[in-house]
Structure formats: structure tokens, C-alpha cells
């Protein structure tokens, strides 16, 4: 397992992370099995959000199922997110001081812990007042409730606006990324190509390079999904060439296709993390094996091309 540093986080973090978005209807034993598989395979980082399961439910279910001793708590890195507000009228996004501090404090109670290692702003709030975010971050940091901060689904300019005001480094940007859903990578491969949809900048402009330039760790969410929560590409008959390539490369390295899907992301020199959503302990173990596979340039581009992207 490969580990990397996130500024402000006390231990190095694994580049494969277990996400807890889908545990709301799992039993305690099933949640413990996911956690145990992660720990046994070198994963030491767990991803949550206030919104998973609705109103902190997945955070609470995790804490109920996996009570952490003081030493185990010190060994793992718990990340959660705030800024999505569920309400009967419809969800909205809000980065006000009160909302961020209230959500962080409720996450601490739900997770049954004294501190959050990494606190991310979940989805950009168009009404953001960055001075308010700075005040919230200062309070959470100085009170010891949060150790490090980051964002999710943000453009370079949105991050720049925050960076003008907040006093802590933004250590991560969590973005959707899989072999089949990879605009943050594909745009950079086909820039300035007339009529090529892949050439249209949908990420607000070079977020991959911006994160590399600013030492922001990209955390890839939905690493197995074809698109936006519409099923996995592994074994999908709509991707015959991709799956044939994945199977052949998996056999070469002696791992499962799941590991190759992870490796396509971890192989990128941007030093990204992969946030798994599986609730299947065997898949957690299979995915962890993709942490450090040295895919060749030819293999990496073959996977990109057979997923349907343009290599001009």
C-alpha cells in the first residue's frame, strides 16, 4: 500500500480510502467487515459526509458498528464533508459560518470522536462568502475540532477564491473520476480539438494540473461507476474492449479487474487517492491490491482509449 502526506494530518494516508456513503442499511457486522478488510489491507483512511444516509446517519452507523479504541482512533484518518443541507423543500448548498460549524459539531457527535482529521466542503455553494468559510475554518481549527481542510467538486477558480481568504492549506479536492468518467484527465489529452466533446472544458479549467501545481491531493470518487451513479463498467457488455483489456492486464499483474480499475487512477503521477464505495469486503481487498501497480504508458493509454476516449 502506498501512503502520502496531507498537510496537517498527523500520519501518512493510504492512497486507497474506504467511503461510507452506502452503509446506511448495513448491519453492524457488515460494517465491521468492511472496516476490517480495509485495515487488514493497509487502508487507514475513511471517508464520510453529513449527507450520507441523510442527516449524519452513515456517520452514526459507522460509530455504532466500529467503536474505536483510543489507539485505533489515532491510527486512522477520518474525513467528513459538510455544506449540503437536506430539507423538505429540497437540498441546498450552504457554506455559512453557522452551517459549517453546526455540521462539523454534529459530525463529531455522530462519529463519537473528539476531532475530524480532514473536513471537506462537499459541493460548491454559489452564495459562498469566503470570509465566512475562513471564520468557520479558524474556529474549527483553533478549537482542535478539525485538523485539515479541503474541498470537493470545485474548480480552480473556486479554490483560488477560498485560498485568498482561508488561513489553512486546502489539502484535497474530491472529484468524480473513473476510467470511463474522466473529463478531468481527458480534456488535457485533446485540448483545442474542434467538434470533440472531450475537448470541451467541463471542470472549470484544468483542475488536474491546478491540483498538481498547488499540492492538492485529488481524491477520486465513484472509481468503478460508468457515469453518475449508473452502474459499474467492470463486466458491463457496453464496454467489451475495455473489459478485455482490463482482464488481460489483470492477468499479467496477477490481480483482479477491480485492482486494475484502481491502478488506472493510482498510476497517475498526480499521486491521487481512490475513494471506494463498495460494501463488499472482498472487493475492498481486491481494490487495495491496485494501490501500486506500475501500469506502463501503453497499458494506461490502452485502458483510456478502449473506454471510448480520444487519443488524437
Contact 260/270 with Cβ under 8 angstroms?
A: no
Give the distance between the most distant pair of CA atoms in the chain: 57
| Choice from 14, 222, 243, 273 touching ligand NAP (CB under 6 A) | 222
Beta-carbon count within 10 A of 139 CB: 15
- Name 171's Cβ contacts closer than 8 Å, sequence gap at least 6: 6, 7, 8, 9, 118, 148, 149, 150, 216, 217
Q: Is 216 in the site for ligand NAP (CB under 6 A)?
A: no
With binding defined as CB under 6 A, does residue 43 bind ligand NAP?
no
Nearest residue to ligand NAP on Cβ basis: 277
Residues 169-208 that bind ligand NAP (CB under 6 A): 174
Specify the stretch interacting with ligand NAP by CB under 6 A; choose among 4-12, 129-137, 185-193, 279-287: 279-287
Shortest spacing between CB 47 and ligand NAP, in angstroms: 4
At 151, is the secondary structure helix, strand, or coil? strand
- Ranges within 254-273 binding ligand NAP (CB under 6 A): 258
Q: Is the CB of residue 119 less than 8 Å from the CB of residue 149? A: yes
Residue 283 is a binding residue for ligand NAP (CB under 6 A): yes
* Alpha-carbon gap, residue 163 to 132, rounded angstroms: 13
**Of 1-9, 20-28, 99-107, 197-205: span binding ligand NAP (CB under 6 A):** 20-28
**Nearest CA to 145 among 117, 164, 173, 169?**
117
Among residues 20 and 288, whose Cβ is nearest to ligand NAP?
20
Q: Number of residues in contact with ligand NAP, rule: CB under 6 A?
A: 24
The single residue among 278, 289, 291, 295 that binds ligand NAP, judged by CB under 6 A, is: 278
Closest CA to 288 of 14, 4, 35, 16: 16
Could you tell me the smallest distance in angstroms from the CB atom of residue 226 to ligand NAP? 9
Among 66-74, 89-97, 103-111, 217-225, the segment contacting ligand NAP (CB under 6 A): 217-225
Task: Restricting to residues 69-128, name those near ligand NAP by CB under 6 A.
Answer: none
The correct pick among 22, 135, 165, 212 for binding ligand NAP (CB under 6 A) is 22
User: Phi and psi dihedrals of 218, rounded to 5?
Assistant: -80, 130
CB of 58 to ligand NAP, least distance (A): 9
Nearer to ligand NAP, 14 or 153 (CB): 153
CA 170 to chain centre: 14
Instruction: Rank residues 33 and 234 by Cβ distance to ligand NAP and give the closer one.
Output: 234
7 CA to centre of own chain: 17
* CB of 50 or CB of 96, closer to ligand NAP: 50
Provide DSSP, 30-72: HHHHHHHHHHHTT--EEE--TTTTSTTHHHHHHHHHSPPPHHH
Do 45 and 10 touch, CB atoms closer than 8 A? no
| Residue of 186, 276, 288, 293 interacting with ligand NAP (CB under 6 A) | 276
Binding positions for ligand NAP, rule: CB under 6 A: 19-22, 47, 152-153, 174, 221-225, 229, 232, 234, 258, 275-280, 283
Amino acid at each position: 500500500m502506498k501512503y502520502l502526506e496531507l498537510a496537517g494530518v498527523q500520519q501518512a494516508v493510504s492512497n486507497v480510502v474506504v467511503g461510507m456513503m452506502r452503509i446506511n442499511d448495513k448491519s453492524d457486522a457488515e460494517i465491521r467487515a468492511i472496516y476490517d478488510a480495509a485495515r487488514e489491507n493497509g487502508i487507514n483512511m475513511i471517508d464520510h459526509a453529513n449527507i450520507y444516509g441523510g442527516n449524519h446517519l452513515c456517520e452514526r452507523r459507522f460509530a455504532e458498528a466500529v467503536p474505536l479504541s483510543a489507539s485505533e482512533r489515532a491510527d486512522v484518518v477520518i474525513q467528513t464533508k459538510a455544506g449540503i443541507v437536506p430539507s423538505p423543500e429540497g437540498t441546498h448548498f450552504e457554506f455559512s459560518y453557522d452551517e459549517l460549524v453546526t455540521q462539523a459539531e454534529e459530525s463529531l457527535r455522530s462519529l463519537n470522536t473528539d476531532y475530524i482529521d480532514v473536513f471537506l466542503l462537499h459541493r460548491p455553494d454559489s452564495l459562498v462568502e469566503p470570509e465566512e468559510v475562513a471564520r468557520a475554518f479558524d474556529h474549527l481549527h483553533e478549537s482542535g475540532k478539525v485538523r485539515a481542510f479541503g474541498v470537493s467538486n470545485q474548480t480552480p477558480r473556486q479554490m483560488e477564491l477560498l485560498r485568498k481568504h482561508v488561513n489553512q492549506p486546502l489539502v484535497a479536492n474530491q472529484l468524480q473520476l473513473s476510467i470511463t468518467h474522466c473529463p478531468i484527465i481527458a480534456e488535457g489529452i485533446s485540448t483545442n480539438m474542434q467538434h470533440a466533446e472531450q475537448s470541451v472544458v467541463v471542470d472549470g479549467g484544468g483542475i488536474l494540473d491546478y491540483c498538481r501545481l498547488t499540492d492538492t491531493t485529488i481524491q477520486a470518487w465513484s472509481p468503478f461507476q460508468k457515469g453518475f451513479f449508473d452502474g459499474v463498467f467492470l463486466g458491463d457488455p457496453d464496454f467489451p474492449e475495455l473489459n478485455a483489456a482490463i482482464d488481460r492486464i489483470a492477468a499479467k499483474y496477477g490481480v483482479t479487474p477491480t485492482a486494475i480499475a484502481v491502478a488506472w487512477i493510482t498510476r497517475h503521477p498526480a499521486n491521487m487517492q481512490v475513494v471506494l464505495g463498495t460494501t463488499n469486503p472482498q472487493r475492498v481487498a481486491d481494490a487495495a491490491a491496485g494501490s501500486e501497480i506500475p501500469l506502463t504508458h501503453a497499458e494506461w493509454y490502452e485502458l483510456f482509449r478502449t473506454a471510448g476516449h480520444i487519443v488524437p
